[in-house]
Structures are given as structure tokens and as C-alpha cells.
Amino acid sequence: MSFDAIAWAVKQKTGDAGSKLVLLMVANYSDDENRSYPSQDHLALICHMSRRTVVRHIKTLHKKNFIIIHKISNGLKINNRYVLNRELANVPKTTNPSDKMAQYTNINPFDGFKRKKNKNFIAG
């Protein structure tokens, strides 16, 4: 288990809670070289999801460059090796300046709202 990988996964914005959970579990099983080998059935078990849902989240994480998937075949079965893409996923994205405008507006939702006195309150 790599604490650095888990700390990295916590900071990522995957856009979906299920994808974030799968990314955290993949990071939990990663080694020092960011590789992990959990089966999709095992991920489904520990994430309390169906196997199909785990596959969907893994595909989403792969499309968003959070993980790289390598297919490994031993002749009988094909296994996946997941590699955390820690370098490419940290590339800062350009933000739209209008997104930050909403944070800095001075609109008070309680302007014009006058609170009525509570007649049932007895001050002692």
C-alpha cells in the first residue's frame, strides 16, 4: 500500500463519487511504482458495487487519464494491470474567469429580510 498514492487519489477531481472510490481502491493496492493488480470482482466487493459498475468507472478513469490499463495474458486468463497516471492527471486545467466571479459577488441573501421578535421567548 502506498500512502503517497492514496494521498494523490484523494486530491483528484474525478467528477463522480463512484469513480473516486474506485480510484482510491486502486491506489490502495498500488506499489511504489504506482502499479496495482486488483481484480474487478474484488474491487466490486470492497466498493459495494456491481462488477459492471466498476468496469464503467475504470473506463471513465482511463478516459480522463487518471489510470493506464495494461492487459496481461498468461495464456488462460487476461488480467488488468492498473498504473496510476500521477504525472498527467495533475496538469492544471485552464479555468473560466466567470466561474470565479460567483464566489466574489457581494450578494447577501438576507438583505431585506427582517426578523420578527419571538413573543414566546421569556428573557429572565
Q: Give whichever of 30-34, 55-59, 73-77, 107-111 has the largest mean pLDDT.
A: 55-59
Please name the fold of domain 3-88.
Arc Repressor Mutant, subunit A (1.10.10)
Whole-structure pTM value:
0.68
**How distant, in Å, are the alpha carbons of 28, 53, 62, 66, 74 from that of 89?**
17, 22, 11, 6, 30
User: Do 37 and 29 form a contact (C-beta atoms < 8 A)?
Assistant: yes
Cell 493488480 appears where?
A: 37
Q: What is the pLDDT of residues 110-119, one digit of tens each?
A: 555 566 666 6
- Domain coordinates in residue numbering, the chain: 3-88
User: Is the per-residue pLDDT at 95 higher than 70?
Assistant: no
Looking at residue 71, its amino acid is: K
Average pLDDT (73-101) is 69
